[in-house]
Amino acid sequence: MAELSSTGAILQCKCPQCRKGNIFKHSILNPFKYAELYENCPHCGLEYEVEPGFFIGAMYLGYGVSIALMVNCLVAIYVIFDDPSMLTYLWITALITVVMIPLNFRYSRALVLHLFGGIKYDSTL
């Protein structure tokens, strides 16, 4: 199997050290368990929570991404529907934001772990 690039490992939510083990236990399509992540990498044993509260940074990243998504939704609704009622803005933006929660949550954590975890890739694992 070909080795994953750093970007590929982030997109597939793989361990930053071995790029083989999954970060999350369940599929993103599981609405009740999409947020459960392994404490350690199932392949190399790396502890994912580098320090206590490490993933709080992911919460800030997710918040920023949510705001950017909402602004983009509002602009798209304005352009597509030619300035509809306030309720149309509200419902479409809320629906899209809620549907994107699992994606936002997982990629925020994967990005923070890869970018700020201080973990080097080891191709021998």
Span of 1-9, 44-52, 70-78, 104-112 interacting with Zn ion by CB under 5 A: 44-52
43, 121 contact by CB (below 8 A): no
Q: Could you say which of 13, 17, 106, 110 contacts Zn ion (CB under 5 A)?
A: 17
Inter-axis angle of helices 86-99 and 101-116, to 10 degrees?
50
How far is it, in rounded angstroms, from Cα 35 to Cα 31?
A: 9
How far is it, in rounded angstroms, from Cα 42 to Cα 123?
A: 16
Q: Does 44 bind Zn ion (CB under 5 A)?
A: yes
16, 39 contact by CB (below 8 A): no
Span of 26-34, 38-46, 50-58, 106-114 interacting with Zn ion by CB under 5 A: 38-46
Q: Does 41 bind Zn ion (CB under 5 A)?
A: yes
Span of 40-48, 55-63, 64-72, 82-90 interacting with Zn ion by CB under 5 A: 40-48
Q: Does 10 bind Zn ion (CB under 5 A)?
A: no
